A and B are shown apart, each in its own frame.
Chain A
């Protein structure tokens, strides 16, 4: 076992991790962030994506001990305490970009990682931004329009 500390959604955690544990296992099994989904375990589907130090990463490809000192954002960190949704979540809901929902948390985070860096993305840039996230219900058109709508909300100063 190895002791590490990391910040998840603004809160500092000090935890013991097994040597062979992945960041995905740590977040789900130990810390209870079950909004992080395991879909393929090899970086192909993107369902386990989280934002680490500002960058979108697949948590199935990171060993837990590697996350020492990192700042991580999961889907659980987006909604405000008073229940207000993040504009991206709001846009996904309004545009009907949610079907089975299994890709949704990571898709929302992919959109966040993109919009944090590029507040006015083109359709092509949105498609590249979510290109590491699979949606098998094939709701891509509505996901792209949600990201555009979210960009509008964010540029207006949030909704």
Chain B
């Protein structure tokens, strides 16, 4: 049987446009009479605030300044929980929360006006350490515990597993917050079509979901919102949450004209999610031969001020903390916790990236204690076809891990 695509080198459909510079990213769209938007963002992590926009409004060229009261529908968005506000109404929960959106005839004027808005903060105690945050002494979101998710995994009996273990290694590992730093900063343009349809053109990973979020915030049916996704300059998970889409929609409807916004690199860093930093407390036991017998882990994922994909990410960490190894006795507790830090969400690996830092170092240490090689201990425990993962999944498809480890080991010896 022959295929048209499989097994062949195919030139990507958008390749030609990209090598010639003709591919259109949202910042490349220029429309007649378009206005420019700039976002005012909080400079403190936790506070009540009031705004005085009167001076900024008087600047020549400023068309309008939008705040929470200008959101026609629900002042909320979020991929799982609607815990983000389109514009903060009374309280900010992190540095970088959006407070207002200035629309002006030029980008320069919009920037000037953003700087002319007076913000008065009544600062609140903030919490930056997720372990502290778990005590709920300072609440990031009123009326809700900071612990927004607890994933529990129980298999076998870990007390027995550790009792039978010849070697046990226990450590705490910490991973850091990471930014996607996709090369194309967030940008978009919005306008209203003759029949009233709101068109938002922005680089996004989630056009269909953006449509719903925009519609809810605008208080219109979804069919009145059209999201156009032009070329996207990298995303890696960082464009799953709303950034400027709703701001642009509100501004376009209110001013009638096309409104464009382009974030600076600095604002891009502030505006989108990060990779969850995790604290991974882990204990691993193995018998004399290096067969794993038990694993116990507690994972605390700091999701910052908003949940985004925290639940899915934390669950994935909880599942993957065993590594690709067969372990008969496992106990995992993984928590996602609100703090006043930058918010965390999707990023390549989605929770599976953090935990190997702990798991694999544990393997190396066990091997060292047992006097066997790091390769040997992995070969002894690796998943194969038919293995059962700690959460009960039977791996029925191809699991070529052992082949892979052997190839790497061979290559290392040759090097």
> Would A and B touch once assembled, by the CB under 8 A criterion?
yes
Name A residues whose Cβ lies closer than 8 Å to a Cβ of B: 28-29, 32-42, 45, 47, 74-76, 78-79, 85, 89, 92-94, 96, 98-105, 108, 134-137
Contact partner, B184, options A74, A75, A96, A102, Cβ 8 Å: A102
Q: What is the CB-to-nearest-CB distance from B243 to chain A, in angstroms, rounded to a whole number?
A: 17
Within 8 A of A (CB), among B1-47: 9, 11-12, 14-25, 27-28, 30
* B232 CB-CB contact with A under 8 Å: yes
Q: What is the CB-to-nearest-CB distance from B10 to chain A, in angstroms, rounded to a whole number?
A: 9
On whether the beta carbons of A136 and B9 are closer than 8 Å, the reply is: no
Closest to A18 in B: B108
CA distance A134 to B264 in the complex (A): 17
- Name 17 interchain pairs, CB-CB below 8 A, sorted by A: A34-B27, A37-B183, A37-B184, A38-B262, A47-B183, A75-B19, A85-B16, A89-B19, A93-B15, A93-B16, A94-B11, A96-B11, A98-B19, A100-B235, A101-B233, A102-B233, A136-B236
Q: What is the CB-to-nearest-CB distance from A62 to chain B, in angstroms, rounded to a whole number?
A: 18
On whether the beta carbons of A75 and B182 are closer than 8 Å, the reply is: no
Q: Is the interface of A mostly helix, strand, loop or mixed?
A: loop
On whether the beta carbons of A35 and B22 are closer than 8 Å, the reply is: yes
On whether the beta carbons of B184 and A39 are closer than 8 Å, the reply is: yes
Q: What is the CB-to-nearest-CB distance from B279 to chain A, in angstroms, rounded to a whole number?
A: 27
Q: Interface residues of B toward A: which range?
A: 20 to 34
Closest to B10 in A: A96
On whether the beta carbons of B12 and A136 are closer than 8 Å, the reply is: no
Closest to B21 in A: A35
Closest to B12 in A: A98
On whether the beta carbons of A78 and B184 are closer than 8 Å, the reply is: no
CA distance A96 to B9 in the complex (A): 9
Q: Is the interface of B mostly helix, strand, loop or mixed?
A: loop
Residues of B within 8 A of A79 (CB): 20
Q: What is the CB-to-nearest-CB distance from B252 to chain A, in angstroms, rounded to a whole number?
A: 20
Known: A93-B19, A101-B23. 8 other contacts (CB 8 A): A36-B21, A41-B264, A75-B20, A79-B20, A89-B19, A93-B16, A98-B18, A105-B21
CA distance A76 to B185 in the complex (A): 22
Contact partner, A74, options B21, B23, B231, Cβ 8 Å: B21
Within 8 A of A (CB), among B216-234: 231-234
Closest to A134 in B: B183
CA distance A78 to B21 in the complex (A): 10
CA distance A62 to B30 in the complex (A): 23
On whether the beta carbons of A89 and B20 are closer than 8 Å, the reply is: yes
| Per-residue contact bits, chain B 255-268, to A (CB 8 Å; 1 contact, 0 not) | 00000001011000
Residues of B within 8 A of A99 (CB): 234
On whether the beta carbons of B20 and A102 are closer than 8 Å, the reply is: no
| Per-residue contact bits, chain B 176-193, to A (CB 8 Å; 1 contact, 0 not) | 000011111100000000
Given A40-B265, A93-B16, residue A100 in contact with residue B232 (CB < 8 A): yes
Closest to A35 in B: B21
On whether the beta carbons of B183 and A100 are closer than 8 Å, the reply is: yes
On whether the beta carbons of B21 and A75 are closer than 8 Å, the reply is: yes
Given A102-B184, A136-B181, residue A76 in contact with residue B21 (CB < 8 A): yes
CA distance A36 to B231 in the complex (A): 15
Contact partner, A102, options B11, B15, B234, Cβ 8 Å: B234
Residues of A within 8 A of B18 (CB): 98, 101, 104
Q: Which of B19, B20, B235 is most buried by chain A, counting CB atoms within 10 A of its CB?
A: B19
On whether the beta carbons of B265 and A102 are closer than 8 Å, the reply is: no
Q: What is the CB-to-nearest-CB distance from A19 to chain B, in angstroms, rounded to a whole number?
A: 12
On whether the beta carbons of B265 and A39 are closer than 8 Å, the reply is: yes
On whether the beta carbons of A35 and B20 are closer than 8 Å, the reply is: yes
CA distance A89 to B21 in the complex (A): 10
Residues of A within 8 A of B9 (CB): 94, 96
Q: What is the CB-to-nearest-CB distance from B244 to chain A, in angstroms, rounded to a whole number?
A: 16
Residues of B within 8 A of A76 (CB): 20-21
Closest to B180 in A: A136
Contact partner, B19, options A28, A29, A33, A92, Cβ 8 Å: A92
Residues of A within 8 A of B25 (CB): 37, 102
On whether the beta carbons of B20 and A85 are closer than 8 Å, the reply is: yes
Q: What is the CB-to-nearest-CB distance from A21 to chain B, in angstroms, rounded to a whole number?
A: 10
Residues of A within 8 A of B20 (CB): 35, 75-76, 78-79, 85, 89
Contact partner, A101, options B231, B262, B264, B265, Cβ 8 Å: B231
Residues of A within 8 A of B14 (CB): 98, 101
Residues of B within 8 A of A32 (CB): 30
CA distance A33 to B20 in the complex (A): 11
Closest to B29 in A: A34
On whether the beta carbons of B21 and A136 are closer than 8 Å, the reply is: no
